[in-house]
Every structure is written in C-alpha cells, then in structure tokens.
Structure 1
C-alpha cells in the first residue's frame, strides 16, 4: 500500500462515506447516554459484541486468499495494536463522551495525525519539516480556541469537563499509535486480515475488562431493551467505516485518506447540532477550521 497515490472517484467516495459514518459514533453514544441507564463500559461491550460476527466473517474471507501465515512478531504487533491501540482508545472515548460535547470530542480526537507526527519523529527518527511545524501550530491553536469557547458557553459548570477532555486526549494518543502501527503492518499482513485480527483483539480486551474489571451484568441485562444502540454502533459507526477507510487507504493512499477525513469534525458538529441540540458558536467554527487546515497540511506534506 503506497502512501501517495492518485485519487480516484471510487477511493474518494469510499473514504468520505467512511469518515462520515465514523463521525456518527459520538452522536449515537450521546443519545444512548441520554435515553438509557447504560454506562460507558456496558455500551462499549454491546458495540463490540455486535461487531464480532463481522470480524469473524472477515477472517474467513481472508483465509480464502491463501496468504502467508503470520509470524510470531506479526501476531504480537496485530494483537498489541488491537488491545493497546483500539481497545484503550475506545474505552477512553466512551468514558470521556459522558462529560464533553460530541463536537468537542471529535475535534480533540482529530488531533491523532499530529501525534502520529510526534511518534514518527521520536520513535522512527523522521524529521519534522517546516510545513509540519506550521501545521502543528495551527492545529493546537485551533483546539485551544474551540476548547476555551466551550468553557465560555457554560461547560465551566460541569465538574468533569476537564477530566472528560483529558480522556478524549488520551484516546487521540492511543488511536494515533494504532494508526501508525497499522500503516506499517498492513502492507505485509494484508488489510482485511490486519483489521479483523486487530478488532478481535480489541473485542477480547473489552470482554475481559467487563468480566474482570467491574462491568455490571445487571446493566447488560437491562440493555437488552436498547440493543439497537449497540447494533448501530457496531454496524454503522464501527464495522462499515473501518473497512471503508482501510479500503480507501488501499485505493488512494494514507495521505489522501487523512486529507479527505477532515470532513469528520464538520460532520459531527452538524449532526450534534441537529440531533443533540448542541450549539454552534464562532470560537468552535474558528477552531475547527484551524484544526482541519493543520491536519490537511500534515497529510499533504507527509512523505
């Protein structure tokens, strides 16, 4: 899978649909919190439970391709990224969404390309070029403007606002680890096989956390009347966008996917306004534009 590839119409449409579907996740979670008694871990458990059959099916299809068996090192990489990347980022995200707006969550989460720059710089010794430095400055300035705008319109009265923001920040960091690692493993492991095994590892992490880490079986029983939230999160906001964006990377390259995915925060803010009644205010618009410009620059100039 090449990093820089020409953009085809098929690749563009697949990527933009995947990005918009991903942006529905925060909306579904916020609606579920508002209308049910489910906590973050129970909702995450439902999401991964209904995702499981799709990933098992993907493994079956991957085995039909007669790919080279994974080495022990590759297994460690896939499982490690699934558990410490996707599982942790999902957990931080769902808990954080209890305390911050969907629009701010998506904006903070969208910092992950900047963390990918830092990981590549400090771990893989890739130099940070001038354009990337400008992009980082724009991105974090935009986050600061939007964040303090949220405080100004009333979230100062939310005692858990800063804690929720910090958890989403951690989610962005762990997700960037998953993205950097997947970009290095997919060319050798295969896109379908990597996605399926990584997601199964993540699912195992969620199940173990629920079973041994204090998950409420009573809440899970009560959630039986609200399984549609789990199904929507699994199919619409997890499985479909996961495979669409992976296919987009295969067709047009990770740089182009990073640029086109800038539609994500805008999509979330618009959905949050009409579905959740969240306010759209000038500081949020200005901050979002700066973040998008910064992320696009990072994707455009990455080598």
Structure 2
C-alpha cells in the first residue's frame, strides 16, 4: 500500500511542475507549438522505446483498443495546447486551479453519459471547489484582479478536455499494457499537435541551434512518460478513490513551484482557497476509500 501511495504522489508531483516548466520555456523565447510538439515527440519516442525493450506484444490499429486509445490521444493533445496557452495569459498557479475543475466536471460527465449520479457529499464538494477556486483566484482579496479572460477560457477548456480523457480512458484499452496504451495515446496526441503546429523547428534550425531539445526532455518526462507509468503501477495498490485524493497533490506542488521558480505572489487567501479545494477533493473520495475497509471488517466479525 505505502509503495503505491508513494508512486501516485510522485506521478501527481510530476504533473504539478509542468506549468512552471512551460512558463520558463516561454521566458526563453519558445512558442506554444514548439513546447507542445517536443513534449509529445520526445514522450512518444520514450514510450515506444520502453515498450519495445519490454518485448511485450505489440498491437496495431486493427485492434479496437488501440484505435480508441489512439483517438483518445487527441484529447490529451488538446489538454496540452489549451493548458499551455492559458498560462501564457495568467499565472501558472491560477492555471493549475482552473485545470483542477475537471474534478467536478468529471462528476457531471459520468452522470450525463453513464448515469452515475453524484452523492450528496460530492455535490457539497463541488460547491467547496468552486468557492475555493474564487478564493485561490484572488476574487476576495480586496485588490483589483487582472486576469486575462483568454487565460481563463483556455484554462477551463483544458479542464473540459482533461475531463473527456479521465472519463473515457478508464473504460478503454484494457487488453493493452499500460506502456503500450500510453504509447498509442501519446502518438495520437503528437499527430494532432503536428497537424495544428507543423514542426518547422526541425527545418529552420531551432531544434538543434537552440536549447529547444533540452526543454523537450523534462516536458516529456514529467508530462507524458513518468505520470502514466507511476499511476499504472501505483493505482492498483491504492485503489481509484485513494488515488484520486493523492493525485490532488499536483495542485499544491504547482503552486509551490510557481512561487519558488517563477516568483509569483500567493496571498494567504489564495493559500486558503487551495486548501479548501484539496479538502473538497478528499471529502468527495474518502467515503469510497473507507468502504472496502468497512466491508472487510464486517466479514471478519
């Protein structure tokens, strides 16, 4: 159990520092398309290399699970594009808060498409998440808040696309190994990103003539390689409910990274908002986490 907890926490921390890395990349003069492309490209190469070295069976696009995973990759590609676009206009610490809105969006999506009605405690959690978001966004700070609406819009779009990925990914690709499934997903994401942002940096010398390739390494490692691997190893040990709670660690990690590395100012009210969001996520999932233990206890008695 503890090994699984550590693995899931590490996966969440990997996701958490992505927005800060992207902001630093922007400061070096790299564009949205370049950063998205090198992340997906390096991630695709790494995942396929890991799969081939494992000597596990490879399935092609004739396999239904491969096709759905490949198509699902478009949603992860859109998450990267919209999320990274949002932090061009707003602080990274606000961008991650907007992305975390997938927690209540996924509840509504499962209710709408899979008739899985949220529990009363989950509805209460949604209200607290929204209240925490307003606090964390500085709405009640007493100071004039200057948040670019383009950043807010792209941040919410990123949350919507991430919701699509979360809701669908757990229901497809069961015949594939986690690495092969991730490889096909990232391949789909890379194709979509390439169609939107053609990799002209390969022809104009930007890839080798600058440090762009160096930025691709941490983006791919923390965004496309480590999280799927760590989650696939850790989630079976923790369970989905506890895993969802632990995954929320990306929120404080992103806030801390933005404060330390980007020197973004975070007020006490914003910290309170982050804590409220974390508490709401825990409250929405902790009851399901405790249910298996209660069942086991009942059998023993």
TM range (shorter): 0.7 to 0.9
What does residue 293 of structure 2 align with?
none
- 4+ residue runs over 6 A deviation: 67-71
Q: Residues 90 and 138 (structure 1 numbering): CA distance in 2 closer, same or farther, change over 3 Å? A: same
Question: Which structure's CA Rg is the greater one?
Answer: 2
Kept in 2: contact 1:22–1:238 (CA 8 A): no
2:114 to 99, 121, 124: 124
> Shift of residue 52 of structure 1?
2.2
> Shift of residue 256 of structure 1?
1.5
Per-residue CA distance 1:246-286 (angstroms, 9 max, x = gap): 22223322222110112211111111111110112022112
Kept in 2: contact 1:55–1:200 (CA 8 A): no
> Shift of residue 101 of structure 1?
0.8
What does residue 78 of structure 1 align with?
69
Per-residue CA distance 1:60-84 (angstroms, 9 max, x = gap): 256x34488776542332122111x
What does residue 11 of structure 2 align with?
18
Aligned residues: 287
Per-residue CA distance 1:129-151 (angstroms, 9 max, x = gap): 10110111111111122224498
1:222 and 2:225 aligned? no
TM-score by length of 1: 0.86
Give the RMSD, CA atoms, in angstroms.
Answer: 2.5
Distance 1:89 1:188 in 2: 25
1:146 and 2:136 aligned? yes
1:273 to 259, 283, 301: 259
Q: Residues 269 and 194 (structure 1 numbering): CA distance in 2 closer, same or farther, change over 3 Å? A: same
Q: Residues 67 and 239 (structure 1 numbering): CA distance in 2 closer, same or farther, change over 3 Å? A: closer
TM-score by length of 2: 0.86
Structural mapping, 1:32-51, within 5 Å: 32-34=25-27, 36-51=28-43
Distance 2:258 2:79 in 1: 21
- 5+ residue gaps, structure 1: 1-7
Distance 1:154 1:31 in 2: 26
1:195 and 2:195 aligned? no
Kept in 2: contact 1:114–1:295 (CA 8 A): no
